[in-house]
Structure 1
Amino acid sequence: MKMLNLLIASIFVLIVQVEALAQSKSKEKTSFQASAPWSADYDVRADIAMVYGINDDGGKFEERVKGYRDKGYEVHFMTGIAWGQYKDYFLGEWDGKNHLDEGQVMRNGETIWHGQNVPYIVPSTNFLTYMKTHVKRAIDAGVTGIYLEEPEFWARAGYSNAFKKEWQNYYGYPWIAQHESPEATYLSSKLKYQLYFNALKEIFTYIKTYSESKGKRVKCYVPTHSLINYSSWQIVSPEASLANLDGMDGYIAQVWTGTSREPIFYNGVKKERVFENAFLEYGSMVSMTAPTGRKLFFLTDPIEDRARSWDDYKVNYQATFTAQLLYPMVDNYEVMPWPNRIYKGKFNVEGQKEKQGISPAYATQMQIMVNSLNQMPLSKNTLNGSKGIGVLLSNSMMFQRFPTHAGYDDPQLSNFYGMAIPLLKEGVPVETVHIENLANKNTLKDIKVLIMSYANMKPLAASFHEDLTKWVKNGGVLLYYGKDTDPFQNVKEWWNTNGNTYKAPSAHLFQLLGIKESEDKQEYPVGKGKVFLVRKDPKELVMQTNGDTEFLANVKSAYENDAKAGKLIFKNNFVLERGPFVIAAVLDENKQTEPLTLNGLFIDLFNPELPVIKQKTTIPGTQSYLFDILKVTNKNTPQVLAAAGRLEDQATTITKNAYSFLIKSPAKTLNTMRILLPKKPKAITARVNEKDLQLLKNEWDENSKTLLLGFANYSEGVKVNINW
């Protein structure tokens, strides 16, 4: 019997070691960015600390890097490529010349500033030489990854002498003010797009070459807003084209409350729809990168840049957090930016005059959520609902957002949202498809119905139409919505130059499809597929009350009758299981107003008390995040199921009658954790620096065989010993 007990204990230890080894293989799964030096007060224990800026937070870059590395982090470097703490460059300290004239300038002659003496930049050759000194210093400090953040050129900019010079060099003729014609707007944006593509290409090439000369290969990433957000906010950025750069290793999808709360139209009402917007933004980043195989991190932020209340932050954090988890093909996360701002900042609390720091309850909940991301698995499960419906996107959405010409406007990017929001609001997990990726055989592999318009974008190559035609002839169903009367239809592009005389780019597509348009007809069989041609701009579908009725009927007919993809299901919820995690969202503004009820044995991960519940009801307009205890593997092995801290795997041990571990989290916060055990414990201790801590929670739940444990967090770690 003694030998058997020893064998069982050895197996327990082996299981823990195997699980620890599996997790240690992925030491770049979670990250955060911080300009401030390491502090116990915001030691969030992700895998990667992205130390921000050479000159940020008083400089001392190498000290900041060492501070995080000494605490066990993989250290990367992040800095802005379009703005940053580069006053030594702009004010002449670097090369003796003032470079404020390289800022992005509006029509009224004013520079667009990111901060005092920090303009948004027209990336000149000289500036790129300066930036190389920053990345070189970072590589010399030993970082293993570099992030060049937010390559942004404002659509309303383009009037500086620096930009005029770049125009002359690129186009070979004098600058034309972008407000003078649609073509000038289009050309201006194409140049802005190209300038930052070239800038990143040059810096990434330097990073790879220099790091390899030092005997290592530093990875290169671009943290960027989604194409949807940049188009909405009227910013131009290289976006999808960067994925084809040899030196490009991946992206951070910068989606958070600040981007997702941008008001959008639906059913004639303009307002914030944070969950829906976030879902589409994350989706556009997935569709942009999936065919390329580049790594993708999803970002969320427990607060945001704009000053709001803690209650506002919490509600919208839950919405964006849920949206990111509904993409089971992504399991890398930036868990937060600026942790010092979150833990040390003060913001409004409803009903109180003075601003307050983060509440203990919200801090605990947030830490439960971010630490769950270290466990979040990839999954082959898919969202409930009718799959295979996509909306076509193009980088050129950014090219026609400013200024307004001939009175034509696209309020709140409604020509995009008009194709996506009506379906999403009906519980259809609509996807986005990047036209630039159509040549990749996987891009349309699972798409049954594709919706598109050239009211809000233009095809940058004729080959895209060849790809679409092939797809339709092989059985795809295409819905084209658009009057094709916007002023950008006539810009000098491939469809009306070099022997082509098409009045609109869609005419070229329809010719390839063999469609001869008839006023009394909107459905056209093409090969094994079909095309719906509706002469209505998509913005009309959402800017008018019930404007989407005919649209939804057309999609239903295309999906069920033509694509033969099954029944198009309208509902008011999304649910996804990823390993033991259950993620749910219930939509408002839907004819179905009933809540979603899930039955089982769950831990509520949005509740800082981590209650065990048998039923969870989610009402419209809210989300839920659950841990399904019944889905736990190795049920006989003691294990932490959820916690407001991170376990140090190498410090975890299991014997026949005991379980011990070390858990770390920011100081001055409270840890709540739910632990699966073989039986009710007889003795529990929590110690830090050889001192016993008071147990704030110590509750056994016999039904779930879990222990609820609570105590104060310490950055250096709390050693927990449980005996039964």
Structure 2
Amino acid sequence: MASLCSACKTSPPKAEEKPAEKTAFQTGAYWIPEIDVRSDIAIVYGANDHEDMSFANRVASWRERGYQTQFMTGMAWGDYKDFYLGEWDGKNHSDIAQVEKDGTEIMHGEGSPYVVPDSTFIAYVKSAIVKKVIDAGISTIYLEEPEFWARAGYSEHFKKAWEKYYGFPWRPQDASVENTYLSNKLKYHMFYQAINEVSTYAKEYGKSKGMDVKVFIPTHSLINYSCWEIVSPEASLASLPGIDGYIAQVWTGTSRTPNYFNGQKAERVFENAFLEYGCMISMTEPTNRKVFLLTDPIEDGVRDWADYKRNYEATFTAKIIYPMVNNYEVMPWPERIYTRPYKLTNSDSAVLIPRFYSTQMQVMVNALNQLPVSENKVDGSHGIGVLMANSLMFQKFPVHNDYEDPLFSNFFGQVMPLVKRGVPVQIVHLENLGYEQSLKDIKILTLSYSNMKPLDKKYHEQLAQWVKDGGTLVYCGTDSDPYQKVQEWWNTGSNHYATPSLHLFELLGIQPNGKTSEFSVGKGEVVVLKTDPKEFVMDKGGDREYIQTISKLYADAYSQPISFKNHFYLQRGMFDIVSVMTESTNDQAFTIDGPVIDLFDPELPVLDHKSVAPGSQAFLVNLERVADKQKPQVLAAAARVTDEEISSDSYSFIVKSPLNTTNSMRILLPKKPANVKLTDAKGEEIQSEDFSWDSTSKTCYLKFENNPDGIKVDLQW
């Protein structure tokens, strides 16, 4: 490790003014040159003092290098030994862990349990963490991953919370469907309440210090939590006044979770990531919250560098194919990425990140700083939505009455047949139906209560009105899962509906019978398919009727046939983004005419065309769409470019990126440079490893070693 920087001797700084906050990374480390990523924001993780550096000095080490500093801490786990062992309030809280039926405590790591967020823990987060970081001048706080495992719910703390919330003694969740539902609903409520209290405190305490504190929730998608059997407040948090937005925690580890399609169980990383990001964006767009989209060049699982690279390209492409968002967490834990060895393909040897991969990764990361919001849409037939709800997390564990939903197939059955045919299906959250934006561009909406339930009757009132105003609803399900009978609003008080869908059908004025029923309702239409959506994907060819139904409704709604294809393609500023899928309409490659610069190739070649094979992706600079072609400019680089100066016969700039990495860059110039000079921060000239000129594109290629202190590039012609 490098020696401590001079900033580590300074006192805690005052709150800083915030410039643009487009890119970020999170780190538990203090600044060292090997991890100087050069994003806008360094999110410092954890408020504890480390053995070799205090929290305040960790923050200062990043501020000294020009970063905006923000803060992140876990809401369900963390390095909170002062709380667990009684140093904070003199009482031992080591029994705070979430507990399974057999008494096993669920741990995030040694000495770090997943907690039951009771009032004492909430008080600790407020006073020992949030107050400390606000006092250190930090005004943006991330409360990460409020997670309660579905298999938990047997600790004394949870039993007390149950009795307080429900007013009757705790019941073991494995004993009945009703108990499972009540248990998960309480888990959901406990973290909702914890986030509400902590975010409200952060806002109020910040205001008392003259600071405008922002609070964000880094969280996995509702899709992933449902797959992994975790309960979290998810979409409901977007309506809390204390929440300013989210980080969408989507990466290879979440997106490689297998699912079924056409009767085959497999990993489908791009398709999953596309849906996960869409799920997170649909939580924030209607509520005007900000969302950062995250991906990770590696993952928690120990694989090899080739696996990391392949799946990083897939998840990265899924992220940038959403043109309405241009805020990104470019990576978590750069110390893990740059300084920890991982194995090579077909070898037991462990090595640090290969230079070709770190160069490619840094080209991709720095391109995010250039990536604009765009009004363009990914190609395909838009206007089809699939409904989700937080209650998807309530029905996953354990299995009751032999009704199973393998690998979350009742959800994937509604979306994967469309995504695999190149239809950019949109996720819609039941909790957000009250916002006009939620259904603004949707004409066809699918719904199933096979694996979720409506937690409020107002959702049905909103859906019924939408249909009467001209929308088309497709309801899929047999309503035979055991959770249809839990005590909820549709079967209590004055309501006596055997299933929640019957309440919706009554509002719509329809009485479905037979396997398929079609109804005109007001200006809209309703189709009921009495099939659980899991059958669309678990059986080979099982989606035939579903696809035929959607195709017919689309043609009726838009007076044109639905478009089926094997790819997604987007033009976004000067960038071309494409993913070509397997298991799709055909096995043809997708070709983009050039000249283009291939940003997934660390040598940044200029190609006259790019052919993208099924199962792969591409991220390209299209030279035909570069703005102001007469202006000298860096089109792609494995380093961040600053301090640009342009004259009639020269162009200079400074580039910074982590130590022990290689910069590769392609630069647009009016003519071939006669002189290229590279100078380090000490004023000493260094040599490039490679230089070439491409006369067709009028670009030069440069390659040299990076330095976080900066390399000045002078080009003269």
Q: TM-score range by the shorter chain?
A: over 0.9
1:591 Cα shift? Answer: 3.3
2:650 pairs with 1:658: yes
Contact map agreement 2:516 2:530 (CA 8 A) in 1: no
1:659 Cα shift? Answer: 0.8
- The TM-score with structure 2 as length reference comes to 0.96
Match of 1:239 in 2: 234
Q: d(CA) in 2 for partners of 1:351 and 1:289?
A: 42
Greater CA drift, 40-49 or 131-140:
131-140
1:88 Cα shift? Answer: 1.4
1:49-79 superposed Cα distances (whole Å, 9 cap, x missing partner): 0000012754611110000000000000001
2:428 pairs with 1:436: no
Assess, with a 3 A threshold, how the Cα gap between structure 1 residues 396 and 683 changes in structure 2: closer, same or farther.
Answer: same
Equivalence map 1:194-593=2 (5 Å):
194-519=189-514, 521-561=516-556, 563-564=557-558, 566-593=560-587
2:693 pairs with 1:722: no
Contact map agreement 2:410 2:533 (CA 8 A) in 1: yes
- Residue identity in the other structure for 1:87: K
Match of 2:598 in 1: 604
Secondary structure of residue in 2 paired with 1:506? helix
Q: d(CA) in 2 for partners of 1:490 and 1:130?
A: 39
Q: d(CA) in 2 for partners of 1:68 and 1:520?
A: 62
Secondary structure of residue in 2 paired with 1:100? coil
Q: d(CA) in 2 for partners of 1:436 and 1:455?
A: 18
2:171 pairs with 1:176: yes
1:97 to 91, 95, 98: 91
Match of 1:38 in 2: 31
Q: d(CA) in 2 for partners of 1:579 and 1:666?
A: 27
Contact map agreement 2:381 2:424 (CA 8 A) in 1: yes
2:705 to 693, 707, 712: 712
Q: d(CA) in 1 for partners of 2:44 and 2:558?
A: 51
2:696 to 698, 703, 714: 703
- Residue identity in the other structure for 1:99: H
1:187 Cα shift? Answer: 1.0
- Residue identity in the other structure for 2:97: G
Q: d(CA) in 1 for partners of 2:137 and 2:652?
A: 34
2:85 pairs with 1:84: no
Q: Name structure 2 gaps, 5 residues minimum.
A: 1-16
Q: d(CA) in 2 for partners of 1:174 and 1:323?
A: 46
2:673 pairs with 1:678: no
Q: Name structure 1 gaps, 5 residues minimum.
A: 1-23
**Amino-acid identity (%):** 55
Q: d(CA) in 1 for partners of 2:213 and 2:654?
A: 32
Q: d(CA) in 2 for partners of 1:391 and 1:588?
A: 22
- Residue identity in the other structure for 1:245: L
1:418-463 superposed Cα distances (whole Å, 9 cap, x missing partner): 0000110011111111011111122111111111100010001111
Match of 2:14 in 1: none
Q: d(CA) in 1 for partners of 2:320 and 2:50?
A: 33
1:189 to 165, 184, 188: 184
1:80-101 superposed Cα distances (whole Å, 9 cap, x missing partner): 0100000111112222222111
Secondary structure of residue in 1 paired with 2:470? coil
1:630-670 superposed Cα distances (whole Å, 9 cap, x missing partner): 1111211111110000012xx22111111111110001110
Contact map agreement 2:139 2:206 (CA 8 A) in 1: no
Q: d(CA) in 1 for partners of 2:294 and 2:704?
A: 29
Secondary structure of residue in 2 paired with 1:584? strand
Assess, with a 3 A threshold, how the Cα gap between structure 1 residues 478 and 26 changes in structure 2: closer, same or farther.
Answer: farther
- The number of residue pairs the alignment matches comes to 698
1:488 Cα shift? Answer: 0.2
1:352 Cα shift? Answer: 2.6
Equivalence map 1:30-69=2 (5 Å):
30-55=23-48, 58=51, 60-69=54-63
Assess, with a 3 A threshold, how the Cα gap between structure 1 residues 501 and 70 changes in structure 2: closer, same or farther.
Answer: same
1:674 Cα shift? Answer: 0.5
Contact map agreement 2:387 2:427 (CA 8 A) in 1: yes
Secondary structure of residue in 2 paired with 1:101? coil
Q: d(CA) in 2 for partners of 1:471 and 1:695?
A: 62
Q: d(CA) in 1 for partners of 2:31 and 2:66?
A: 11
Secondary structure of residue in 1 paired with 2:438? coil
2:150 pairs with 1:155: yes
Assess, with a 3 A threshold, how the Cα gap between structure 1 residues 234 and 501 changes in structure 2: closer, same or farther.
Answer: same
Contact map agreement 2:219 2:248 (CA 8 A) in 1: yes
Q: d(CA) in 1 for partners of 2:559 and 2:712?
A: 55
- The TM-score with structure 1 as length reference comes to 0.95
Match of 1:140 in 2: 135
1:470 Cα shift? Answer: 1.0
Q: d(CA) in 2 for partners of 1:362 and 1:147?
A: 29
Match of 1:9 in 2: none
Contact map agreement 1:560 1:568 (CA 8 A) in 2: yes
2:684 pairs with 1:668: no
Contact map agreement 2:515 2:531 (CA 8 A) in 1: no
Match of 1:690 in 2: 683
Match of 2:116 in 1: 122
Q: d(CA) in 2 for partners of 1:234 and 1:518?
A: 34
Contact map agreement 2:150 2:231 (CA 8 A) in 1: yes
- Residue identity in the other structure for 1:708: Y
1:216 Cα shift? Answer: 1.1
Q: d(CA) in 2 for partners of 1:635 and 1:294?
A: 36
1:149 Cα shift? Answer: 0.2
Q: d(CA) in 2 for partners of 1:203 and 1:713?
A: 41
Assess, with a 3 A threshold, how the Cα gap between structure 1 residues 57 and 338 changes in structure 2: closer, same or farther.
Answer: farther
Secondary structure of residue in 2 paired with 1:582? strand
Match of 2:11 in 1: none
1:518 Cα shift? Answer: 2.3
- Residue identity in the other structure for 2:569: V
- Residue identity in the other structure for 2:60: K
Q: d(CA) in 2 for partners of 1:353 and 1:537?
A: 45
2:639 to 641, 645, 655: 645
